[in-house]
Amino acid sequence: MNVLVTETQTKVILVEGMPDILSTIYEKSTDFSANLYKRISKRLKFNLKILLTFGAGVGGLMQPLMDLINNKFPQLSEDQKLLIIVGTICIVFNEGKDILKEIIPKIKEDGIDNEFRYSVLKTRRLVTVFKGFLGTLGNSAAFLTDVMSYIYLIPLLGYLTIALQGNSLSPDQIETLVKTLAATGIMHISTAALEEIVKRILKS
């Protein structure tokens, strides 16, 4: 049986279904970070606590990076990929300087300097673009000085873009969506900034 869904119903489904989807993305980022912590501890014997302290944030950035490394450098071993990930985290988030001192010689010894530099460059560019995006939101996002706490918004913004493009929500629907998203407790950002994000996505 074919069921017709009106444009209005589609928008209602979009608004009501968003929190569950965002929660899933957030949890996946947290789970990825926790799993990465275990793999690094077991295989490389490093205690990279930032993966647990800022689980969703680091996971939200490292999961797409790991996907990139897997696709770009399939010839690397599991340990080599983890070395690159650990080194990138230490540099980008300015954490684990003692660990970085041990990582760099191993990266050079394995001859994966170029892959490591590529990883750091790509990650830094993403963080820079994200910082710039936050900066354009104005005073409502001016308090976001610690990007590490909000970096998990990157995959969430990606989903929002896919979900919202092609839709024309009314001001009331935008307000409902923003309130619904804010109520999930996932997006630790002001409703004014969140509303601006939604409006920009809808215009793109």
User: What is the DSSP secondary-structure string of 18-81?
Assistant: HHHHHHHHHHHHHHHHHHHHHHHHHHT----THHHHTHHHHHHHHHHHHHHHHHH-TTS-HHHH
- pLDDT for 12: 58
pTM above 0.85, yes or no: no
The pLDDT value recorded for residue 8 is 53
DSSP letters, 159-181, are: HHHHHHTT----HHHHHHHHHHH
pLDDT at 137: 67
Q: What is the pLDDT of residue 125?
A: 86
181/189 Cα distance (integer angstroms): 10
Instruction: Quickly tell me which residue has 């996907």 as its tokens.
Output: 67
Cβ within 8 Å of residue 1, ≥6 positions away: none
Q: How many CB atoms lie within 10 A of CB 164?
A: 21
Burial state string for 84-117 with b = 16 or more CB within 10 A and e = fewer than 16: bbbbbbbbbbebbeebbebbbeebeebebeebbe
Q: What would the pLDDT profile of 15-25 be if each residue is shown by its tens digit?
A: 666 777 777 77
Helix 78-92 × helix 7-43 angle, to 10°: 110
* Model pLDDT, residue 147: 65
Q: What pLDDT is stored for residue 4 in this prediction?
A: 42
Encode pLDDT of 85-112 as tens digits.
999 988 888 777 888 899 999 999 999 9
Q: What is the pLDDT along the chain (204 residues), one digit of tens a residue?
A: 444 434 554 455 566 667 777 777 778 888 888 898 899 889 988 887 777 776 777 787 788 888 889 999 999 999 999 999 999 988 888 777 888 899 999 999 999 999 999 999 998 888 887 777 777 766 555 444 556 666 767 777 777 777 776 677 778 877 877 777 777 666 666 777 778 877 877 776
